[in-house]
Amino acid sequence: MARQELARFLRDRRAGLRPHEIGLPATGDARRTPGLRREEVADLAHMSVDYYTRLEQARGPRPSARILDALAQALRLTRAERSHLFRLAGSTPPPGSNVERRVRPHVARMLERLPETAAIVTDAAYGVVAWNPLAQALLGGDLARGTTNLARRRFLGQGRTYESSSSEEFGHIVVARLRRAADRYPHDPQLTALLAELHADSQEFRQIWQTRPVHAPGHRTKTLDHPEAGTLRLNCDILLVPEEDQEVVLITADPGSPASRALQTLAQQAPSNGRQAQVPQRSQNVATP
């Protein structure tokens, strides 16, 4: 635990806040220094003033994850600042309380630069939160509605489905990821509803869930039967976005292969409205750093 650095970080962030920025009423009395008072931060974080004061003076004990989360909320820390706070306290920053369904602008822009690669971004609950036109042409126009969830598609048949050589394997991958999400975000209402729906309506999901599968993202190949392009042998690779617990799925074909030529044709036919990286409007999924 870096006590001096932690104390300095807390003091600096407290000094950078103004009462009106966090909903505190203006008291009208002059403040000797800018920013919040220690007792105001302690009250917002639901801890004693003495405990918070000792942290700022580098005299306090190592704070728990609950204390650190409370301080991060009280001081209105960004996601990066929250992670830095945990590291200063000698702890590993846990994920937030809910599944992150926003997409960072630089991730969305990356999809624009992949014209011959079908690319989607999935959240921790396997919702598709961003995609490019080729992905829509390859995986179905229902992506444009911004409500596609690959777990529902795989186990409940919602949206366009294709015969695929990796269907059984993908089922285990989906369940493994949803089990991780359930552990990380036990209070996320949308995830809770999704799991209840899958348990109620899919015997296959229930059976796989009981096996507690474990899977690490990596390279896969699969054969997909597309209704217009025919049988395609494709490569799937995953890029992790750890800050948001999201995955970028890149779908490509071997250069010069029939599948590669089919993807080029689909790319030419793909709908384009001048916005290569589609972002669902329902939640304005653009995250700030």
* 146: CATH: 3.30.450.180
Who has greater pLDDT, 194 or 104? 194
pLDDT (tens digit, 9 = 90+) per residue, 254-269?
999 999 999 999 988 8
pLDDT at residue 280, as a whole number: 46
Strand partners, 240: 247
198-254: pLDDT as tens digits:
999 999 999 999 999 988 788 888 888 898 889 999 999 999 988 788 999 999 999
**Does residue 286 lie in a domain region?**
no
Domain boundary among 24, 57, 88: 88
* 178: containing domain: 105-269
The amino acid that residue 42 corresponds to is A
CB 260 within 8 A of CB 254: yes
Q: What are the residues whose beta carbons fall under 8 Å from the beta carbon of 54, sequence distance 6 or more?
A: 60
Instruction: Classify residue 98: in a domain, yes or no.
Output: no
Is residue 196, in this structure, part of any structural domain at all?
yes
Based on the domain organization, do 48 and 154 belong to the same domain?
no
- Terminal CA-to-CA distance of the chain, rounded, Å? 26
Are 177 and 235 within one domain?
A: yes
Backbone φ, ψ for residue 101 (5° rounding): -110, 5
CA-to-CA separations, 148 to 104, 130, 160, in angstroms, rounded: 19, 10, 10
Q: Are 11 and 131 contained in the same domain?
A: no
Angle among Cα 247, 250, 255 to the nearest 5 degrees reads 165
* Helix, strand, or coil (residue 161): coil
Same domain, 259 and 136: yes
Looking at the structure, do residues 64 and 14 belong to the same domain, yes or no? yes
**Same domain assignment for residues 57 and 172:** no
Same domain for 255 and 143: yes
Query: Looking at the 3D structure of the chain, how many domains does it have?
Result: 2
CB atoms within 10 A of CB 133: 25
DSSP H or E stretch at residue 138: helix 133-139
Percent of the chain past pLDDT 70, that is, above it, reads 85
pTM over the 0.85 mark: no
- Does a structural domain hold residue 282? no
